[in-house]
Chain A
Amino acid sequence: MSLLEVRNLRKAYGALKVTDDLDLTVEEGEIHAIIGPNGAGKSTLIAQLSGESLSDGGSVRFADAEMMGMAMHRRVRAGISRSFQITSILPGFTALENVATAVQARTGSSFRFFSPVDQENRLNDQALEALDRVGIADRAFFRAGSLSHGEKRQLELAIALATRPRLLLLDEPLAGTSGQEAERLVEVMHSLRGQVTLVLIEHDMAAVFSLADRVSVLVYGQIIATGPPDIIRADPKVRQAYLGEESAGAGDVAD
């Protein structure tokens, strides 16, 4: 049984079919990259899988349970967590509070009104651990809004990890990060292999081909090919659909 089985997933904005009878299978423990030209529907797919936006039809089975029609916060509790293409954090909170809030969401009731939350060591310890894992523990007490762009990406990954997901959906985690920050993030994703199943949208092909166990190519709302990186790289259909439109220099994918 696969961890995630998506069948005939559909989503249209008016006449535009953004997700067009899409099938996708993700195995437990793998790092599964989804690539495709701009406008292929990658972020929409993530939004549909996470429950942020409603699907028009189809089925999303996760760990043997149907997710269709389930709200985002319930899917998080079921074990599907995500990051956003455009960084989404709590800017007025410290980095530590950002992550501690995510820990709080899965540990105990939040209808507690009297005891100060910033003194709950269990929350803070786990939050600090997650910050350390992504490499920004030294920023714990900085306001999240004041962090650099790359640090915010790292923070967002720490927040997602703090929900203890079985499946982590990452929407362009490397977008806009510096070389060093990107390296650190790739390293973190490598370290997650086998612990968390990753579905990764990424434009950085070097990162994709070094990380992914399998790659799926999404074009016009459909997966046109799925397979190990080497096979995908050599697939003529992929070269035509993806490289033909996206870049003159085939080097992007061939690297």
Chain B
Amino acid sequence: MRIIPTRAWAATALFTAFAILPFLADALDDSYLVVIATRIIAYAIAALALDLILGYGGLVSFGHAAYLGIGAYSVAILSRAGITDLGLHLAAAIAGAAIFATITGAISLRTKGIYFIMITLAFAQMGYFFFVSLSAYGGDDGVTLAQRSTLFGQPVLESDRALYYTAFALLLGLYLLAVAITRSRFGRVLTGTRENPVRMRAIGFSPFRYQLTAFVISGCMAAVAGVMLANQTNYVSPAFMDWHRSGELVVMVVFGGVGNLLGAVAGATVALLLEEWLSILTEHWPLLFGVILVMVVLYSRDGLSGLFRRRT
């Protein structure tokens, strides 16, 4: 809890940077920047969702890409049915994610440690192969979206900047929601269970219900990221749910620093920016990224947030 004043300050700085970024893009005459930033924000939402259960609950889900996929396919499926409203897309994504998370979470949470990691991975892969075999939506190849989600019947989000600010508003809202959750009674039970589940039972808590609720909340948040990602790429395919993608989310959280929420946002931001820049330098950029990741984790157990904290 000692990092909160620093975190509030760092959060203000980071979110302010996000807020003024489109103006910076204007000044630089680089409209691609807004496109990258939208992608970054979508992943930041997913990483934030993952950190809620990974950092606070000690639940390492290696299948969170499934929720990106559920969110993305909600857009694809509803759009084809002629339903284009963003609100409905989000509602469908959240409902779908809640169902998937409740079922898979109830089963996964019976296991611990490496088994939990493997079983969440297995469920995500089932989702992956389900959509691979869904030929109506392009199977392996996926499906191109005819248009972005609409807002109040208007094609407002066709503007990159409007899409960006919508994603940004969602990130900001979900970040504040996640911060509130972690400080609440519920958050204390979740964190306490990570600290010592036997102790929690010995004072009268049954951890399962709290862990499952957190798992569902996290899944729903990640599905929101999927909706944004689909809109950003105008294209939905099973690749969204690939297990590599789940791994990338874990990397972003660890890179940014586990268990303080803002670290996940920063981790997603820096990881994707590095990906953009390093891939200009060399096609072997994952190697360079790997070196940087190892250095950060090696020199600061708390990832980027740890580096930041040490300096302040």
Contact = CB atoms under 8 A, between A and B. Distances in A.
Interface string B79-120: 000000000000000000000000000000000000000000
Nearest to A91: B195
Contacts of B213: 111
- Among B184, B189, B204, B210, the one with the most A-chain Cβ atoms within 10 Å of its Cβ is B204
A32 interface: no
Q: Which of A101, A114, A162 has the largest number of chain B CB atoms within 10 A?
A: A101
B58 to A, nearest CB: 11
Interface string B117-133: 00000000000000000
Interface residues of B, number: 25
B203 A105 contact: yes
Given A90-B192, A110-B185, A110-B189, A72 B180 contact: no
B301 interface: no
B183 interface: yes
B204 A105 contact: yes
A113 B186 contact: yes
Contacts of A72: 201-202
Given A72-B202, A82-B202, A89-B196, A97 B188 contact: yes
B181 interface: yes
Given A90-B196, A111-B213, A84 B185 contact: no
B198 interface: yes
Interface stretch (A73-81, A202-210, A228-236): A73-81
A117 B198 contact: no
Contacts of A81: 202-203
B185 to A, nearest CB: 4
A116 interface: yes
The 5 closest A-B pairs by CB, nearest first: A76-B204, A105-B204, A90-B195, A102-B203, A112-B185
12 contacts: A73-B204, A84-B198, A88-B202, A90-B199, A93-B192, A97-B188, A105-B204, A111-B185, A113-B181, A116-B180, A116-B184, A163-B204
Interface of A: 50, 52, 71-73, 76-77, 81-82, 84, 88-94, 97, 101-102, 104-106, 108-118, 120, 159-160, 162-163
Given A90-B199, A104-B188, A113-B184, 19 more contacts: A52-B202, A73-B202, A76-B203, A88-B196, A92-B191, A93-B191, A93-B195, A101-B189, A110-B186, A110-B189, A110-B205, A111-B185, A111-B210, A113-B185, A115-B185, A116-B183, A162-B203, A163-B203, A163-B204
